[in-house]
Amino acid sequence: MIFFKYFGYVWLLIFALPLFLLGAYTLLGLFISFESIQYFMRPSFINVMLHSITLSALVALLSLFLGLGVGLGFYTLKTKLFKLLYILLLMISFVLQPIILLSTFQGIDLFLHRDAFLQSLCIFVMHLTPLSGLAFIYIFSTLNSLSLQSALAIAPLKYSIQYIIFPQLKPYIGSVFMLLFILVFIDQAVPSILGYRTYTEDLLAQMTLMENMKHIALAALPSYFLVGILIFLWSRVKKHLHLQTYIATITNTKLQFPWYWLGASMLLFGVLYLVWIIISLSMETFTIAYDSYLEENLDVIGTSIGFSFSTAFVTLGIALMMQHILEKYASRFLHISIFIMLLFYLFIPHALLSLLLLDIYQWLGYFSVFMDYVVFFMGYIFILLPTALFLLTMLHILEKEDVFLDFFPISVFHKWRKIVFPQMYLKWLLILFILMVFSLNELSVSILLIPPGFETMIVKIYNLLHYGDKPSIAFLSLVQLCFMICFFTLIGWISQRVSL
Amino acid sequence: MINIRYISMFIFVLLILSCSQNKEKRIIIYTSVDQVYAAKIFKDFEHKTGIKVLAVYDTEASKAIGLEKRILAEKAHPRADIFWNSEPIRTVRLAKQGLFQAYSDIKLPMYKDTLYYASDKTWFGIGERKRVIIVNTNLVLPQDYPTQLNDIWHEKFKAKVAMSSPYIGTAATHFTALYHRYGATVFQALLATMKKAKTKYLAGNSVVKESVGIGKYAIGLVDSDDAIAGIVAGLPLKMFYYDQEDKGSFSIFGTVAMLKSAQNTTEAKQFLHYLLTQETEQKLIDIGAVQFSVLKHATLSSPKGWSINPEVLWHDLNISYTFMKAAL
């Protein structure tokens, strides 16, 4: 399929464009005012950098550990219904925005009077453990189930973890940790609400002083440094990886762990948590007239959900094509380049990326309402694409496909339609779901690129938070939660035909 | 062949969409005024003139890098017709870059003071708020209620005071004004006192109001509209206009400007004509967006307050930031 090949390459170029532009601006900025670099060497900046690294590392570590437990819990459940319910409940904290989780938890006295660091830690762990858990559920499905189960049947728990589970998980842990670390590192909303100063918040404050892109682009300097460190660490870890272990037993894994209490207790906790969240949010909405609220907010709900679905869908499609091109045609050099670009995208503050896109829009020189929407759509794709590629790469979904594809002498289009899609669609739907959540919760693009007259739920929620209109916030959060639960149930219903 | 057909159809639809012209009269407004308030004004304007308002709202969380940066990025080809800002200093900063055009159809003598408008008529003030102290009535005894701004950094309130980050929004304007009024030495001493008092800097005024309301902090420094919204919402708060025996509380007014090369100039002028009236300003006061008037004929009495001409103040923004970065 020549079309797919070239389309994939075109996207690789589009993907690289803002980074080239950023690099050029940074160099120009350094050339014009080299003394700006001193800002990043000040003790106060190093201090907030350490704040962010500490918080991100601890959240990643805790979420990783808890996610491992959540992943194990899933495989202790026996019936498909319980497994579906388990994943559904798991997703609640991930679907709700961290600021909504925060306002819900602030009603609890024990939480309210804790230190800002501890509160931020709790909220982030709550929000990201589901993602880590979901990753581990997938990862377990790629492990050698036979050796695991036979060993688990005879060895004590401690030895099972030390000698059987951990060695098999080792190659994946770095990827999950890195993703969790970056997601916390670039998020400034919750810590800044709580008064815990972070790197991103400090950088944004510094950006307010700068009046042109050459100076604003200097804000990306720490990203170069951090990406450099991560690439170095990754290259060290990579030596110890056994890539063959990724190629898997795939969809029909019948993995089962014997600790039934784990899954059962987590399921119970999940049910109680869902009930508590729904009650907390509903209590806030008692004073409102649902029909008038729905009528008032129908537009924003419809457009936001529709928009997040379309952006997630298109992003997934592009990510699959890019991944396919990378696996089939690209050189090792291109692989490494894409990986580095991907890390950059994950580390750059979204506000900076949005400003770069606005700059490219100015260069294009063709302005219309339609183009406003195109740029807005592209903004979301640029934000979501690294995550989509990261998830696809982490799970090595396409590597598995290629094993099959190579055996069939038919066109790529037919292979995808007849072989790949039926096997992979459930996993793609789950990635689509994750991307939708990220899309719904993206704030910077929503403000800096939103077309005039268009409204998103995230901007509305933030504005209502400012006004203190808790009933409306709770109502919108409930709607978002219910929609995502319905979407997830639909995935579950579809999955009735395949084994989990 | 099928693919080529679908792709051609897709491109055709895109072309049709991009070429279609909307004949409806409309105006594009970028605003950092709270959506709950601005939307009411836009609705009223639409009702009165039949001109559709396409708004882009800011949020308090993004005040550090919101609409000001968007307008700057769109400098060569402005998409907005009007910029309606909740404070003056960033509007002036944009005006100094030559981004706004003059609006002559206005009677300047209607303003209380010359600081409320640009002499070249590129921006105008609308509605005023004051910086106020809020206390949680469950945590602070009446005899300890602060009356001066400096009271809140007293030893007894150590680690109990919260304010919005002084790098963003109205807190940035307030602190730049303090620097301008008192000079570098006093300003640095104030920053040192704040640090010693372990003041917490949160993401915005509403967050401060909420945190003081739920009892996480005892005292907060916010804008009067945030304080009133908190009191109306039933939070145990009491609001104080500080320094009433001296110069009073710092006042912040909203600003509005028409973009140069605005695509809908006629409609933009109509909007300014609608907004810059006593009637609309009163509407803003009634809905709680602002508390005081910048116009002469206002009937509402105002507590003592002070402000500095933003045309002068904006020069100090970067300098005050440098001091704050070093001290806090």
Which ranges of A142-220 would DSSP assign to H, the alpha helix?
Answer: 145-154, 157-159, 166-185, 189-194, 199-209, 213-216
- Which residue has better confidence, B43 or A144? B43
Whole-angstrom distance, CA of residue B56 vs CA of residue B72: 15
pLDDT of residue B240: 93
- Tell me the mean pLDDT in the region B5-32: 67
Running DSSP on this structure, what letter comes out for residue B249?
A: E
B151 and B224 share one domain: yes
pLDDT of residue A91: 79
DSSP annotation string for B88-123: SHHHHHHHTTT-EE---SS-GGGBSSGGGB-TTSSE
The closest CB to that of B18, out of A195, A371, A455, belongs to A371
A437 SS3 class: helix
Residue B306 counted as domain residue: no
Q: Any CB–CB contact under 8 A between B17 and chain A?
A: yes
Residue B313 counted as domain residue: no
B179 and B75 share one domain: no
DSSP annotation string for A240-292: T--GGGGS--GGG-----S-HHHHHHHHHHHHHHHHHHHHHHHHHTTTS-HHH
B152 and B81 share one domain: no
Question: Burial, A328: exposed, middle or buried (Cβ in 10 Å; 0-12, 13-18, 19+)?
Answer: middle
pLDDT of residue B50: 93
pLDDT of residue B134: 96
B93 and B52 share one domain: yes
Residue B288 counted as domain residue: yes
Strands B123-136, B219-223: pairing kind: antiparallel
8 A C-beta contact, residue B201 and residue B208: no
Rounded-to-10 torsion of CA A105, A110, A114, A116: 0
Q: Which residues of A touch B207 (CB under 8 A)?
A: 193
DSSP annotation string for A37-75: GGGGGSHHHHHHHHHHHHHHHHHHHHHHHHHHHHHHHHT
Which residue(s) pair with B27 in the sheet?
B53
pLDDT of residue A244: 36
Q: Rg for chain A (alpha carbons), in Å? A: 23
Whole-angstrom distance, CA of residue B164 vs CA of residue B322: 17
Residue B311 counted as domain residue: no
pLDDT of residue B15: 56
From the candidates B20, B65, B160, B199, which should be mutated to test the interface with A, based on the most A CB atoms within 10 A? B65
Question: Burial, B16: exposed, middle or buried (Cβ in 10 Å; 0-12, 13-18, 19+)?
Answer: exposed
Whole-angstrom distance, CA of residue A484 vs CA of residue A305: 9
- Which residue has better confidence, B23 or B305? B305
B139 and B196 share one domain: yes
Which ranges of A285-420 would DSSP assign to H, the alpha helix?
Answer: 290-328, 332-347, 350-364, 369-395, 397-405, 412-415
Q: What is the mean pLDDT of chain B?
A: 87
Q: Residue B237 sits in a domain of what CATH number?
A: 3.40.190.10
pLDDT of residue B194: 93
- Which residue has better confidence, B48 or A485? B48
pLDDT of residue B35: 84
Whole-angstrom distance, CA of residue B322 vs CA of residue A209: 10
Question: Burial, B32: exposed, middle or buried (Cβ in 10 Å; 0-12, 13-18, 19+)?
Answer: buried
Q: How far away is chain A from the Cα of B61, in angstroms, using its nearest Cα?
A: 7
Contacts of residue A406, Cβ cutoff 8 Å, sequence gap at least 6: none
Q: Which residues of A touch B36 (CB under 8 A)?
A: 463-464, 467, 469
Residue B310 counted as domain residue: no
- Which residue has better confidence, A214 or B2? A214
pLDDT of residue B17: 55
Q: Any CB–CB contact under 8 A between B327 and chain A?
A: no
B137 and B261 share one domain: no
From the candidates B51, B59, B72, which should be mutated to test the interface with A, based on the most A CB atoms within 10 A? B59
Work out the number of other CB atoms within 10 angstroms of the CB of residue A469.
20
B237 and B292 share one domain: no
Nearest to B237 by CA among B155, B148, B162, B153: B162
Per-residue pLDDT of chain A (500 residues; tens, 9 = 90+): 566 667 767 777 888 888 888 888 888 888 777 767 777 777 878 888 888 889 999 999 999 989 888 888 887 877 777 777 787 788 788 888 888 888 777 777 667 777 888 889 999 998 899 888 888 887 777 666 666 666 667 777 677 777 777 777 776 787 788 888 888 888 777 888 888 888 877 777 777 777 677 777 777 788 788 888 877 776 665 554 443 333 333 334 455 666 667 777 777 777 777 777 777 777 766 666 667 777 778 888 888 889 999 999 999 988 888 877 777 776 777 777 777 888 888 888 888 888 888 888 887 776 777 888 888 998 999 889 888 887 777 665 444 555 555 555 666 667 666 666 776 777 788 888 889 988 988 888 888 888 888 888 888 888 777 777 778 888 888 888 888 788 877 877 776 655 44
8 A C-beta contact, residue A76 and residue A262: yes
Residue B8 has pLDDT above 80, yes or no: no
B266 and B117 share one domain: yes
ipTM, 2 dp: 0.77
- Which residue has better confidence, A368 or B121? B121
Residue B295 counted as domain residue: yes
Residue B156's domain comprises: 130-250+318-327
The full set of domains in chain A, from first to last, is 1-12+236-253+285-500 (1.10.3720.10)
Q: Which residues of B touch A46 (CB under 8 A)?
A: none
State how many domains chain B has.
2
Whole-angstrom distance, CA of residue A250 vs CA of residue A424: 10
A188 SS3 class: coil
Contacts of residue B110, Cβ cutoff 8 Å, sequence gap at least 6: B278, B295, B296, B297
B135 and B234 share one domain: yes
Residue B272 counted as domain residue: yes
The closest CB to that of A447, out of B66, B76, B205, belongs to B66
B200 and B322 share one domain: yes
Please count the CA atoms within 13 angstroms of the CA of B323 that sit on its side-chain side: 21
Quick one: tokens of A444?
Answer: 């910077």
B295 and B146 share one domain: no
Whole-angstrom distance, CA of residue A450 vs CA of residue A464: 18
Q: Any CB–CB contact under 8 A between B3 and chain A?
A: yes
Whole-angstrom distance, CA of residue A104 vs CA of residue A110: 13
pLDDT of residue B9: 61
Q: Which residue of B has its CA nearest to A466?
A: B206
pLDDT digit string, tens, across residues B151-165: 999 888 998 999 988
B259 and B157 share one domain: no
Residue B264 counted as domain residue: yes
pLDDT of residue B238: 94
